[in-house]
Amino acid sequence: MDENLLVGRETNDDAGVYRINEELAIINTTDYFTPIVDDPYSFGAIAATNALSDVYSMGGTPKTALNIVCWNNDELELSVLAEILNGGADKVKQANAVVAGGHTVTGPEILYGLALTGTVHPERVIQNCTAQPGDLLILTKKIGIGILTTGLKFDCVDEHILPIAIESMTRLNKNASEIMLEHRVTSCTDITGYGLLGHAEEMATGSGVVIDIFSQEVPYFDLVPELVGQGISTRAGSANQEFLKDKVSFAKNIDVTLKQILLEAETSGGLLFSLPEDEVDVALDKLKQADCPEAAVVGQVKEFSSNGTSNVINVL
Ligand code: CO
Ligand code: CO
């Protein structure tokens, strides 16, 4: 126990936060994964954007990054690694942060990501467990990335979709974070492996509230329902479904395709944040004028009432 550890592991938040003094806290987070696209530069940029997202979701400013690499020399040239690192470094630079070093091990599988240090004012840390009843929830990027990238892997998707998916995954949540901080944001997380409903569940459980999700308002890529219809799913999607089965209730009119889309794993998704209803219109306008044209109000926070169920998410 350390009283300066403002955010630790207890609330499944996006990053750890440690107070240095009354005006300064540091944010620590790491994320890395296996290649999800063939182009090494794009893979590096996606992995870095995804890792940086956990600093932005805490309301922080990224400062330094360390590369984390597992490399297989028998299978790939080192020039490919250089491309991955270039992709990552360009995103770190765009975030106004700097690559300070890193560590590489060799192994059978290729892995790349970042360990990050960011800064935040100790009283301006945005946690994922402080949503307030009455707040509305804004989502800043489309979902369906997991389905799209899996579809691309199995050649079920026309190649012209690839740049669209890469644009979304490499779009920093920097502007979205800055905009939410201009408002009385109460809670935030970013949408990654647990999917929209999984991350909303963490927010609801941590905050002791119930979250209604307006399923008809959730933005997703056009092609996604068709891919789901062809049987495309992510590996993590079924784990999410299993984990959430006693925590999410779906209104009767919601079809299986939409259910699956909401449960699927995402990579480098947008921010999901809660703020008072009277600030939503202005915040949404700013997001749309910045680099989040698809931002939408996707839910509302409600008082928790123990009605004999363990549901904390109602999908309407
Ligand atoms: Co996160
Ligand atoms: Co993370």
256-286 pLDDT, tens digit each: 999 999 999 999 999 999 999 999 999 999 9
Neighbours of ion ligand 1 (CB under 5 A): 14, 54, 190
Q: Point out the residues of the chain with pLDDT beneath 70.
A: none
Separation of 198 CA from ligand 1 center, angstroms? 11
Q: How far apart are CA 207 and CA 104, in angstroms?
A: 38
Helix (H, G, I), strand (E, B) or coil at 44: helix
Separation of 193 CA from ligand 1 center, angstroms? 9
Ligand minimally distant from the alpha carbon of residue 30 = 2
- Give the pLDDT confidence score for residue 92 in this predicted structure: 98
Buried b (16+ CB within 10 A) or exposed e, 156-168: bbeeebbeebbeb
Separation of 306 CA from ligand 2 center, angstroms? 31
Separation of 204 CA from ligand 2 center, angstroms? 18
Per 3-state DSSP, the chain is made up of helix, strand and coil in percentages (nearest 5) of 35, 25, 35
Q: How do beta strands 24-33 and 313-315 pair?
A: unpaired
